[in-house]
C-alpha cells in the first residue's frame, strides 16, 4: 500500500488562481506526485509563464483562461477542459483576494468584489466540475479556506466572512455530493508569505505580533501546504469528507 496512498499518477487537477503564490506552489506539488495540471487565471501572460515553468521541469501542464467569478465563463471553461484536455479528477478552488479597511469605512464595491472572488467562485467552479464528477462517481474537491474561517482580526471583517462561508460551503458540498463518490474538503492556511500578504510581510510590527502569536514562531512557507493538498487529493483521504484542515503553525490553538 505505502506510497500509493499519495500517488496522483493518472489524475488531472484544475487549480484556480494558480499563476503565483499558494496556487502555483500547489500546482508544482501535485505535479511532483504525478498529477497533470491545468492552471487557471485571468491574466494570460501570468498563467502561460506558470505553465512554461512547470513544463520546463518535465511536468504536464495546460492553461485555462477564464474568470471564475462569471458563472457562464466558468461553465464554458470547465467544458473546454473536459472536452479538450480530459476529465478533471481534482479541483482546487484557490482563487481569492484581500482588501483591508476599517469595517465602518469598507467600500461597498470591495465588499461585492470579495464575495464574488472568494465565495461565488468556489460555488461556480465547484458546481461546474462536480456535474462531471457526479457522472463518473468520483472526484476530489479542495477549497482553500483560511484561519480567518475560525478567527477574526481588525480591518478584514468581510474577508473573514467569505472564508467562514468557504468552510461551511465545503460542508454543504460534502452533504450533497459524498453520496456520488466525491470527497470535498478544505485547507485553511495560516499566515504564509504570499503576494496576498505582502503588506503584512513588509510590516515589522505585524511580523513581530505574528511570531509571538503563533506557537511555531514564524511565517509559513507555501511549500508547507503541499502535503495537505496531496493527502486530500489522493487515495489516502478516501473517507475524509467535509473536513477543514488547518495548516497554521498552531495559531488556531491559542487565544
CATH architecture of 2-246: 3-Layer(aba) Sandwich (3.40)
232 in Cβ contact with 185 (< 8 Å): yes
User: Please, which residues bridge with residue 192 across strands?
Assistant: 220
Grid cell, residue 255, equals 487565544
pLDDT of the residue at 221: 94
pLDDT of the residue at 200: 87
Q: How far is CA 189 from its chain centroid?
A: 10
For range 128-137, the mean pLDDT: 98
CA distance 121 to 116: 6
Grid cell, residue 52, equals 512554461
pLDDT greater than 70 at residue 1: no
CA atoms within 13 A on the CB side of 135: 8
Identify whether 159 is a catalytic site residue. yes
Give the whole-number percent of the chain exceeding pLDDT 70: 98
Q: Which long-range contacts (CB under 8 A, 24 or more apart) does 106-113 make?
A: 106/157, 106/158, 110/158, 111/158
For range 226-239, the mean pLDDT: 98
Q: How confident is the model at residue 29 (pLDDT cuts 50, 70, 90)?
A: very high
Of 132, 159, 191, 246, which is the active-site residue? 159
pLDDT of the residue at 255: 64
pLDDT of the residue at 132: 98
Question: Which tens digit of pLDDT belongs to each residue from 144-154?
Answer: 999 999 999 89
Average confidence score pLDDT of the chain: 96
Question: Which tens digit of pLDDT belongs to each residue from 171-222?
Answer: 999 999 999 999 999 999 999 988 878 888 899 999 999 999 999 999 999 9
Q: Which long-range contacts (CB under 8 A, 24 or more apart) does 196-202 make?
A: 196/21, 196/96, 196/97, 196/98, 197/98, 199/100
Helix-, strand-, coil-residue percentages of the chain, each rounded to 5: 55, 15, 30
Give the whole-number percent of the chain exceeding pLDDT 90: 94
pTM: 0.96
For range 54-83, the mean pLDDT: 98
Q: How confident is the model at residue 128 (pLDDT cuts 50, 70, 90)?
A: very high
pLDDT of the residue at 2: 52
Amino acid at each position: 500500500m505505502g506510497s500509493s496512498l499519495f500517488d496522483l499518477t493518472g489524475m488531472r487537477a484544475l487549480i484556480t488562481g494558480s499563476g503565483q503564490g499558494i496556487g502555483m506552489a500547489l500546482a508544482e506539488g501535485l505535479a511532483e506526485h504525478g498529477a497533470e495540471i491545468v492552471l487557471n487565471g485571468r491574466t494570460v501572460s501570468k498563467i502561460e509563464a506558470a505553465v512554461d515553468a512547470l513544463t520546463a521541469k518535465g511536468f504536464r501542464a495546460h492553461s485555462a483562461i477564464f474568470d471564475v467569478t462569471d458563472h457562464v465563463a466558468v461553465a464554458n471553461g470547465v467544458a473546454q477542459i473536459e472536452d479538450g484536455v480530459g476529465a478533471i479528477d481534482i479541483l482546487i478552488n484557490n482563487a481569492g483576494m484581500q482588501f483591508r479597511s476599517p469595517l465602518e469605512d469598507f467600500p461597498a464595491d470591495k465588499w461585492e468584489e470579495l464575495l464574488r472572488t472568494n465565495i461565488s467562485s468556489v460555488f461556480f467552479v465547484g458546481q461546474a466540475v462536480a456535474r462531471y464528477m457526479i457522472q463518473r462517481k468520483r472526484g476530489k474537491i479542495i477549497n482553500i479556506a483560511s484561519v480567518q474561517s475560525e478567527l477574526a482580526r481588525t480591518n478584514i471583517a468581510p474577508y473573514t466572512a467569505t472564508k467562514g462561508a468557504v468552510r461551511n460551503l465545503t460542508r454543504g458540498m460534502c452533504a450533497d455530493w459524498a453520496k456520488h463518490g466525491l470527497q470535498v474538503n478544505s485547507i485553511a492556511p495560516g499566515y504564509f508569505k504570499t503576494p496576498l500578504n505582502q503588506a503584512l510581510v513588509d510590516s515589522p510590527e505585524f511580523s513581530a505580533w505574528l511570531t509571538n502569536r503563533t506557537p511555531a514562531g514564524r511565517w509559513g512557507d507555501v511549500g508547507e501546504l503541499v502535503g495537505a493538498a496531496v493527502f486530500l487529493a489522493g487515495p489516502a483521504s478516501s473517507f475524509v469528507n467535509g473536513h477543514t484542515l488547518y495548516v497554521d503553525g498552531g495559531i488556531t490553538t491559542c487565544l
